[in-house]
Amino acid sequence: MSDNTLIADGKVVSFHYTLTDPDGDTIDSSDGGEPMLYLVGAQNIVPGLERQMLGKTVGDELVAKVPFAEGYGPRDPNGAQDVPRESFPPDVELEAGMQFMGQTDDGGHFPLWIMGESDGVVTIDSNHPLAGVDLSFAVSITAIRDASEEEVAHGHPHGPGGHHHH
């Protein structure tokens, strides 16, 4: 592999990142762990970050400012809802931040997040926890390679740092 490969559709990119909110508080980081992997063009990462990574190469570092509209979207003020504890499996311990899949009447699925639980009532929210939050990603690109046909077909990378569902 040549070391001047650029980030473009059909590549698998590895990168380290630190994600901070507008107050400068760290939300998430790959520091001390495996780099994050994504398949370019497959919407594995938020659109604003994906766009700003295009054309970069191994060793590049950047700070990508991603407004929420290009991140996890606006926050729906009506997204929160209280539901009885019995709506969830009794053997699952519910914690704030956990994600569940809800089901619509016509069989579709949508993500829900647990906000909290008290007195047998669970508060859920259809908003991603980072909806409405402007994001700043400090990124360091560590590897770029061609995606395999299988990865392109699945729409995500395989191997260390990728999906492990096979």
- Closest to Zn ion by CB, 56 vs 158, is 158
User: Least distance (Å) from Zn ion to the CB of residue 156?
Assistant: 6
User: Least distance (Å) from Zn ion to the CB of residue 158?
Assistant: 6
- Closest to Zn ion by CB, 65 vs 154, is 154
Q: d(Cα 55, Cα 46) in Å, to the nearest integer?
A: 17
Token pair recorded at residue 158: 């395989």
Rounded to 5 degrees, what are φ and ψ at 100?
-125, 160
User: Least distance (Å) from Zn ion to the CB of residue 30?
Assistant: 21
**Which span sits near Zn ion by CB under 5 A: 15-23, 112-120, 128-136, 152-160?**
152-160
- Closest to Zn ion by CB, 91 vs 164, is 164
Q: d(Cα 94, Cα 116) in Å, to the nearest integer?
A: 8
User: Least distance (Å) from Zn ion to the CB of residue 37?
Assistant: 12
- Closest to Zn ion by CB, 42 vs 122, is 42
Rounded to 5 degrees, what are φ and ψ at 55?
85, -5
Map residue 88 onto helix, strand or coil.
coil
Residue among 52, 55, 58 at smallest CA distance from 71: 52
Contact 6, 53 (CB under 8 A): no
Q: Which of 32, 106, 154, 160 binds Zn ion (CB under 5 A)?
A: 154
Using CB under 5 A as the criterion, which residues of the chain lie in contact with Zn ion when the complex forms?
154, 163
